[in-house]
Structure 1
Amino acid sequence: MKRLFLAALLTVPLNLTLPLNALANDTDLETQLAEAFMAYDLSCGAAIPHAARAYQSYQQLKRIETYQLNHKPLPFTTGTSSVAGGGLILFTQPPSYGYVLGGGSSVLEVYTTHDLKRAALFYMVTSEGPGPLELLLLNQHSSPPTLHCLTLDTPEDLNKGGWKMEYSLPVNFNINDLGKGIIYTRADIEDAMGQTQTLWFAYYTQDGGNTWSKPERLMQAPPSTVAGLYQKAQTH
């Protein structure tokens, strides 16, 4: 399933008054941020109002995550809430624009191109247990940027016979200049004897990441590196 958002159409002016108390203590501010988050359009890629002031509040709570590639800071950050009801916000050209990624979400991996203009963020909505793997493709060649949100299919080999809290995590990713790409994921599950078994899967794209195949089960571990335009970023 794919969802495409042109952020330029969703951006809200920043000169409005943010209904957050700047003098609140950290506990109150956490609660206010969670309440404000629940009032947003919670669709992935939806712009939030008052992004600059929201960014300041997340900064005050030390809930801003920054990323870098070869010691160069990436031109976006994420803000998260530790209070139930809160979620994950992407701030681009911080703090100019803010966009919802998901409620109760956590970032798993971040990849970026050499010029830092494009990025791929893998994350998971975990508010009610681990959900499917989510992917955000971010293009910052324009301002505001373009966001493309996708939910990857969960492998059929997981949660057989009912929900067992089984999920897969990304281990490698890339897309080349021809638009062909791959995502490798890993799932550690318990068999009927209580022994841990590692399963490997691959997703494929032929169109630059706009769409991805259903996961294919691999019979052995994938290669540790994949050639392409992206490199894995680090948390700063």
Structure 2
Amino acid sequence: MLKNKIKYSFLFFFTGIISTINAQQIFIETGFESANFKNYVNNLGENTLDVNYTKSQEIFIEGGFRFNLRKNRLKCDVALSYNKYKINTGFYSGKISIPLTYNLNYVALKTGINFAIINELDFKLQVHGHISYDWLIAGTSSYKNVVNDLYRENTFDRTLLRYHRGISAEYIISNKISAYINYNVADSFKDKNEDSNIEEKYSLHTNAFSIGLLFNIQTTR
């Protein structure tokens, strides 16, 4: 129930931003992202995951609209993203760690703000904070040649509410286009898995590096 309330509040806020503000820019970015389960607890209150495996980098893509809130220094954006995660982990059987791999696909709605701590005519250094609501659209786990379809079997949380923070550097190429590089860290709010019978808790933690392009569609003031 709490997750549903948060979800609908987020969607209402997201829709309100789109319907009340005219965008000045559109953007598209892509990059590489790694993921792991942070602070995992199973239904017995124990952390049985081995997190000492190599992290995989997967490609993601994101696009959306950006709005100027104040003097091109404070901006708001709304976006849609597709994220694919491969999580290499393991679970302990006694003292033996058995390799376990998750392949997860999400689509997400995301909104937040960007603030330029350096705001020159041709260069911006920005910090950002965002909230996203993520839907699992496909997922499997595999170990010892056993593959489980997490989505069809409903044994994995299908929705996440995540908070993002990071830093980006933007270079203004012309009055029509800019390019930027971005670093982003995100964590999902830790709650009980409400979408399956496994009463586990965890936070999905991600690190991402990306490059993007901004296109001016209105004159900013």
**Shorter-normalised TM-score: what interval?**
under 0.3
The TM-score normalised by the length of structure 1 is: 0.26
- Highest Rg: 1 or 2? 2
Compare relative contact order (CA 8 Å, sep 6+) and give the higher one, 1 or 2.
2
The TM-score normalised by the length of structure 2 is: 0.28
> Quick check: which one's strand share is greater?
2
